[in-house]
């Protein structure tokens, strides 16, 4: 079939895009007295160069742990128990601490969850941004450093006078922009932003999200954007990965996720969008989920699934590509 001018952009570009990140069967556990909490239960996905992938799912499903795993930032009692994280072909799981330090922030960076509330209150904005740059480029001249910081502030839409301000002199949106500036300061090719807009009010949320995307386009970086607001994600990302209890249950281009959600959990998530707009916590269905220390045999969503079948109680559904680029882990489609 020949490509026509009417072919949607996604389907024309997607198959030829180069993968910058490949996560294969990543597993992260937290050791607790009652047994290991299986926070990330063997997730696999890839990210194309220049793409934005949304990672969604309700609180506690393992989004932050997954990204900490990707950047090897998991803190004890957590640990990576298996899998590969290939960044431009290099497996980060296998690197030693020194090799990792060289890569972090220069190749891949994280804007952590709640970052704007963790800015150092006694340091000026310029000094906080300078810290990260100096750690990697200790020989940079004072003039060059200042120029670089002003350029970064400008890129995230902050006025030059922000340079001399302290965190308490900034609004929430401005603080979050400073965190974005810190995340991109060393020109990484991959940026992971963990709920960068959750703590902001709705209007500022959209403005900051737009800043993030503008920066992404200007620098040509690839991005993983964690969030629980499906409505906001719809406007920002190219593809969405849906997580439930440590597993990716569906991953697809944003258009397919909204037009034809396949997993019953994704369907519930999408149906709950109006309530998310009222800024209620993302809780889509009644019933308790299982204890993450003792996952049941079979599908992890079986206790809350409106379409549960006998097979779901026994066999784990694999993540399969049902349509081009549309993956789902559900027995309904076998």
Give residues in contact with Mg ion (CB under 5 A).
63-64, 113
244 near ligand ATP (CB under 6 A): no
- Residues 32, 90, 154, 235: which binds ligand ATP (CB under 6 A)? 32
77 near ligand ATP (CB under 6 A): yes
Nearest to 80 by CA among 67, 90, 61, 99: 67
3-state SS, residue 55: strand
3-state SS, residue 165: coil
3-state SS, residue 137: coil
**Continuous segment of H or E residues that includes residue 28:** strand 19-30
Question: Considering beta carbons, is residue 34 or 89 the nearer one to ligand ATP?
Answer: 34
Question: Considering beta carbons, is residue 262 or 292 the nearer one to ligand ATP?
Answer: 292
Q: What token pair was written down for 259?
A: 């037009």
Rounded to a whole number of angstroms, the minimum distance from the CB of residue 294 to ligand ATP is 13
- Residues 7, 11, 12, 59: which binds ligand ATP (CB under 6 A)? 59
Question: Considering beta carbons, is residue 7 or 59 the nearer one to ligand ATP?
Answer: 59
Rounded to a whole number of angstroms, the minimum distance from the CB of residue 125 to ligand ATP is 26
Residue 32's binding partner out of ligand ATP, Mg ion, none, with CB under 5 to 8 Å set by partner kind: ligand ATP
Question: Considering beta carbons, is residue 61 or 276 the nearer one to ligand ATP?
Answer: 61
Burial zone of 120 (CB within 10 Å; 0-12 exposed, 13-18 middle, 19+ buried): exposed
Rounded to a whole number of angstroms, the minimum distance from the CB of residue 39 to ligand ATP is 4
Q: CB–CB of 307/237 below 8 Å? A: no
Rounded to a whole number of angstroms, the minimum distance from the CB of residue 38 to ligand ATP is 9
Q: What is the full DSSP assignment across 230-294?
A: HHHHHHH-SEEEEEETTEEEEEEEHHHHHHS--SHHHHHHHHTHHHHHTT-----SSSPPPPTTS
114 near ligand ATP (CB under 6 A): no
- Residues 50, 54, 62, 253: which binds ligand ATP (CB under 6 A)? 62
Q: CB–CB of 18/48 below 8 Å? A: yes
The upper half-sphere exposure of residue 17, i.e. CA atoms within 13 Å in the direction of its Cβ, equals 19
- Residues 43, 61, 149, 156: which binds ligand ATP (CB under 6 A)? 61
- Residues 232, 276, 292, 319: which binds ligand ATP (CB under 6 A)? 292
Q: What is the full DSSP assignment across 191-247?
A: EEEESTTTTS-HHHHHHHHHHHHHHHHHHT-EEEEEES-HHHHHHH-SEEEEEETTE
Question: Considering beta carbons, is residue 193 or 312 the nearer one to Mg ion?
Answer: 193
Rounded to a whole number of angstroms, the minimum distance from the CB of residue 153 to Mg ion is 27
Question: Considering beta carbons, is residue 65 or 189 the nearer one to ligand ATP?
Answer: 65
- Residues 78 to 97 in contact with ligand ATP, rule: CB under 6 A: 78
Q: CB–CB of 184/191 below 8 Å? A: yes
3-state SS, residue 109: strand
Question: Considering beta carbons, is residue 225 or 292 the nearer one to ligand ATP?
Answer: 292
Q: CB–CB of 52/225 below 8 Å? A: yes
Nearest to 62 by CA among 196, 194, 233: 194
Number of residues that bind ligand ATP (CB under 6 A): 16
39 near ligand ATP (CB under 6 A): yes
- Residues 52, 113, 197, 222: which binds ligand ATP (CB under 6 A)? 113
Nearest to 277 by CA among 241, 237, 232: 232
Question: Considering beta carbons, is residue 57 or 317 the nearer one to Mg ion?
Answer: 57
Question: Which residues of the chain form contacts with ligand ATP (CB under 6 A)?
Answer: 30, 32, 37, 39, 57, 59-65, 77-78, 113, 292
């Amino acid at each position: 079939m020949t490509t026509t001018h009417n072919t949607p952009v996604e389907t024309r570009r997607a198959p030829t895009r180069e993968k910058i990140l490949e996560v294969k069967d990543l597993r992260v556990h937290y050791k607790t007295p009652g047994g290991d909490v299986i926070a990330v239960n063997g997730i696999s996905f890839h990210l194309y160069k220049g793409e934005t992938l949304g990672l969604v799912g309700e609180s506690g499903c393992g989004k932050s742990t997954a990204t900490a795993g990707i950047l090897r930032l998991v803190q004890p009692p957590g640990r990576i128990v298996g899998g590969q994280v290939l960044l431009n072909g290099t497996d980060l799981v296998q690197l030693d601490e020194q090799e990792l330090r060289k890569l972090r922030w220069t190749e891949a960076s994280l804007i952590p969850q709640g970052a704007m509330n963790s800015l150092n209150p006694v340091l000026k904005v310029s000094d906080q941004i300078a810290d990260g740059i100096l750690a990697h480029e200790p020989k940079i001249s004072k003039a060059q450093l200042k120029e670089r910081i002003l350029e970064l502030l400008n890129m995230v839409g902050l006025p030059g006078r922000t340079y001399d301000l302290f965190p308490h002199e900034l609004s929430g949106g401005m603080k979050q922009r400073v965190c974005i500036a810190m995340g991109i300061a060393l020109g990484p090719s991959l940026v992971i932003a963990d709920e960068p807009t959750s703590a902001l009010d709705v209007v500022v949320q959209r403005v900051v999200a737009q800043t993030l995307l503008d920066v992404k386009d200007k620098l040509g970086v690839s991005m993983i954007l964690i969030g629980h607001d499906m409505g906001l994600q719809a406007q920002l990302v190219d593809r969405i990965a849906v997580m439930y209890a440590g597993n990716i249950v569906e991953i697809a281009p944003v258009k397919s996720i909204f037009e034809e959600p396949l997993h019953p959990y994704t369907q519930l998530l999408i149906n709950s969008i109006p309530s998310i707009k009222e800024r209620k916590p993302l809780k889509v269905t009644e019933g308790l989920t299982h204890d993450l220390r003792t996952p049941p045999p079979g599908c992890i969503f079986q206790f809350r699934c409106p379409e549960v079948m006998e097979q779901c109680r026994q066999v784990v559904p694999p993540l399969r590509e049902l349509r081009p680029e549309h993956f789902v882990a559900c027995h309904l489609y076998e």
